Structure 1
Amino acid sequence: MSAAHALLKAWPANPRDALPLALWDAEGIAAATGGKASHAFQASGVEMDSRDVRPGDVFVALKGDAMDGHKFIAAAFAKGAVAAITDRPVDFPHVLVNDTTKALHDLAHAARERGFAKRIAVTGSVGKTGVKEAIFASLDRASRGAAHRSVRSYNNHVGVPLSLARMPARAKFGVFEMGMNHAGEIAPLSDHVRPHVALITTIAPAHIENLGTMEAIADEKAQIFTGLVKGGTAIIPADSEYAKRLIGHAKALGVKIVTFGRSETADVRLLDAIPGPSGGSMVTADLGDTRLCYTIAEPGEHWIANSLGVIAAVRAAGGDLASAGLALAEMGGLKGRGARFDIPAAGGKALLVDESYNANPASMRATLRALGQTPAHRRVAVLGSMKELGDFAPRFHAQIAEPLIEAKIDHVILVGDEMRALAVELGRRPANSLGFAPSFAQCDSPAEAIAALEEYGLTHGDAVLVKGSNSVGLGRLVQHFTKARG
């Protein structure tokens, strides 16, 4: 036997190497769902929307109250689907099941159990998508591409199992976002994922219209801990007013608890944060047994807190902290969640910050504070209504006047009925002690806001924040001003 042959025989066996390379095949789907496959096939993806099907996907024909996915099977195959999961025989390769929604759940659970991936779940009133992406970037770098995460905001009762079903058997890490609008929604999502690590970013009055109180929001978010595997870790924001409440939920479940923040009691504690030359921050954190220095590309104090949660989650999942630091230094803003664009303006270019996907009182304050810290000739905020605040809406909208003045925003364009409360508040406020008060315009639609911003006239060095709930449609304003960017 040659020396090379001997070395090959001595190569340590890795159970992960025996797992399939294809995401799913007909036999695997049939076994997971209890269904019957009509043909042999291999699939590289799983999709539930025929419009988003890519070549190699298996299409799950879900049935809802208003729509039946079986009507779109032909369209899915026209876009390259290799098979479908159906509850009736069809003239295409398929796996026949009794209930396609249950089949998706079964597929998700099979994906969870067949591999060795450490699973991380993320929820919170603010910042969960960005934190999810940062954790993924950290773990993907360290594992050389063996991390998986939910895409977009696939964080509900359909998106979470779909994201789980898409996790490759050989993935080393899986990161999943979980959202809610009503009580009782988080626990089933966590039960699907059965995470090893569960992180809450913060508690804020998002969806308070449906939950009623901040305490109820905290209690619902804490349900993410109920799905933790034995020995799992709950990661909690130490600076939150509701930290003790969240810790109480975790203690009742007997899970490990790690806190993060500025508090002296935090397990991952901020020691120092210095503004970076490009708008981010240079952070020093105490992890108890070590200190870590890293740079955050994203601007704003809220990202300093977010980064501490990311570091806590990466460490709890067994990831590499150096890779996490590099990932945080390289992350750019996401579409609708902090993406930054240079757009044409008189005499040169202006900066546009796209936060058009979501808004609540806490995120409004955080992004306005970040805008106030952004070097600019003039600072402009285009603010859309914050939805799902119920009877609290007028008060929460009016309270945005304070951070606008503190950040010295020069001009504000308000969009939507709920923003009229802020317009009234700005209209009655005199200039503050420094002689500053923002000018403002009230608009009913994104089209009016586009016209108002064009009439205001951007000049070289201006900075524009676009922020509002997604249903307001301010993404159209972003698209209008970025489509011809120079």
Structure 2
Amino acid sequence: MKPLWTSAEAAAATGGAVGSDWTASGVSIDTRTLAPGDLFVALKAARDGHEFVAQALEKGAAAALVSHVPEGLEGSNKLLLVGDVLAALEDLGRAARARSAAKIIGVTGSAGKTSTKEMLRVMLAAQGFCHAAEASYNNHWGVPLTLARMPLEAEFAVIEIGMNHPGEIAPLAKMAAPHVVMITTVAAAHMAAFENIEGIAAEKAAIMDGLTEGGVAIWNGDIGTASILAAKAAQCAGRGLTFGTTSEDYRLVSTRLKDNMTIAEAEAFGEALVFKVGAAGQHFAMNGLGAIAVCEAVGLDRAVAAADLARWEPPAGRGRREILALDEVEDDHIELIDDAFNANPASLVASLQVLADIARPEGRSRKIAIIGDMLELGVSEFDEHARVARLPSIAALDLVHCVGPLMLHAWEALPTEQQGDWFETADELAAKVRGYLRAGDIVLVKGSKGIGVSRVVSAIRLAMRPKTERRGIE
């Protein structure tokens, strides 16, 4: 494999100055995960990356991308000196995109972006060399970093693009210049920064601004704002395709759960299509159908892509299901559904529905939801949380424990027989969670990243021991 960057190429891309010849095999922004041969990018975040340049070079970095010479490194010839580090990273990303012959796919949506990116990674890699970020790198530094890491040999690349505020997606989409874009859904996420759901739809649709000439736009046709996406596609895309239960392109006919798999029956342009997704939930099957559409749009075989989709497993914190033993007794265990990475109203509805739909072994299992605040919902946050108690899936649950000041509104509205306990912080619940569990329980943990319910998941795992791994919600 060719070097990712030579000093001359990196200098030309960024307009920077180098003191020696070097080659980089990767690009890193974190000394904790830096590999020998990486180009270290000294970004400013919680701390200034320039403070870690010496450490990066000691760990074997090929060079460091800096805006000034760090103290103690005045004589180093392993520096790429630029005016602004983030702008230079963006330049590297654009240069990597410009030299690449890969088919580029952009993915956005209010929920399911990362899971869909990972589905596509599995499906595309089975038919060619696919590049995608190892984590949810979808922001102003994550997108250029993903592009800058793209190998010359890549045949496909999946770029996840997210947002928190208006105007974020279009510049990133133009940087990525995708051949195909997919919008998983539009829902009430980050409502604090938008006046209404139509504003979120317009921002998601802005991913089409980056499409190459004749590019394909694919979106969920079932959502209420689909017309906004369709109008944008008419302006920007060479072709628009939809997926969903009402779509005439890729139509989801039915789904059923079996052994933590979702088996879907669908139609692609009227032709029957059956596929499996390695996780439980109609929303996974829906995004899987969209991913099949993407694969076909970049020229891959539909049947092969559908078959390979079954090999996908959800990332950690996004619906992974596992069995944890309470003690040494063979049948003394619980099932944990770790969906604690993030939450918004749409993803919470989907996750609770999965819990509700799981069959109870021998009819004796309790179904327990541990749900934390959904953040960044703006003026509708109280209503959105109170509405949780009225979801149809709640009726199928035995207990609901709530975490956070916003989820108090849901807890107060729950029927008394389903009302577990409310805690202001995740740490309070984490300290007591072992006492809430008994053999046979099926437990879902979900909440926005900022509320920290992942610590409840950690506490459950620490109190028990893994028995078997299962696949499994967002």
Q: Which amino acid aligns with 2:110?
A: S
Unaligned runs of 5+ in 2: 467-474
1:423 maps to which residue? 411
1:358 maps to which residue? 342
1:473 maps to which residue? 452
Is the counterpart of residue 163 in structure 1 residue 143 in structure 2? no
Q: Is the CA contact (8 Å cut-off) linking 1:397 and 1:422 kept in structure 2?
A: yes
Q: Which amino acid aligns with 1:275?
A: L
- Aligned mates of 1:142, 1:81 — CA distance in 2: 33
Q: Is the CA contact (8 Å cut-off) linking 2:93 and 2:145 kept in structure 1?
A: yes
Question: Of 70, 91, 104, which aligns to 1:119?
Answer: 104
185-194 or 292-301: which moved more?
292-301
Look up the SS of the partner of 1:27 in the other structure: helix
Residues 190-242 of structure 1: CA distance to partner in whole angstroms, max 9, x if unpaired?
01100001110001100011112001010110000000000101101111111
363-372 or 23-32: which moved more?
23-32
188-197 or 83-92: which moved more?
83-92
Residues 421-472 of structure 1: CA distance to partner in whole angstroms, max 9, x if unpaired?
011111xx47xxxxxx41311012222212443222321x211000000111
Matches within 5 A, 1:14-413: 21-63=2-44, 67-89=47-69, 90=73, 91-143=76-128, 146-263=129-246, 265-276=247-258, 278-288=259-269, 290-345=271-326, 347-376=331-360, 377-403=365-391, 406-413=394-401
TM-superposed deviation, 1:311: 0.7
1:440 maps to which residue? 420
Q: Which amino acid aligns with 2:353?
A: R
Q: Which amino acid aligns with 1:112?
A: R
Q: Is the CA contact (8 Å cut-off) linking 1:369 and 1:403 kept in structure 2?
A: no
Q: Is the CA contact (8 Å cut-off) linking 1:238 and 1:266 kept in structure 2?
A: no
Q: Is the CA contact (8 Å cut-off) linking 1:335 and 1:354 kept in structure 2?
A: yes
178-187 or 28-37: which moved more?
28-37
- Aligned mates of 1:148, 1:75 — CA distance in 2: 28
Residues 2-31 of structure 1: CA distance to partner in whole angstroms, max 9, x if unpaired?
xxxxxxxxxxxxxxxxxx612112122122
Is the counterpart of residue 482 in structure 1 residue 466 in structure 2? no
Unaligned runs of 5+ in 1: 1-19, 431-436
| TM score, norm. by length of structure 1 | 0.89
1:450 maps to which residue? 430
TM-superposed deviation, 1:409: 1.0
- Aligned mates of 1:72, 1:92 — CA distance in 2: 16
Superposition CA RMSD, Å: 1.8
Q: Is the CA contact (8 Å cut-off) linking 1:23 and 1:43 kept in structure 2?
A: yes
- Aligned mates of 1:314, 1:283 — CA distance in 2: 17
| TM score, norm. by length of structure 2 | 0.91
- Aligned mates of 1:110, 1:237 — CA distance in 2: 32
TM-superposed deviation, 1:189: 0.8
TM-superposed deviation, 1:481: 1.7
- Aligned mates of 2:16, 2:431 — CA distance in 1: 55
- Aligned mates of 1:405, 1:174 — CA distance in 2: 37
TM-superposed deviation, 1:156: 0.4
- Aligned mates of 1:254, 1:168 — CA distance in 2: 27
- Aligned mates of 2:395, 2:310 — CA distance in 1: 25
TM-superposed deviation, 1:87: 2.3
346-355 or 222-231: which moved more?
346-355
- Aligned mates of 1:81, 1:407 — CA distance in 2: 55
240-249 or 53-62: which moved more?
53-62
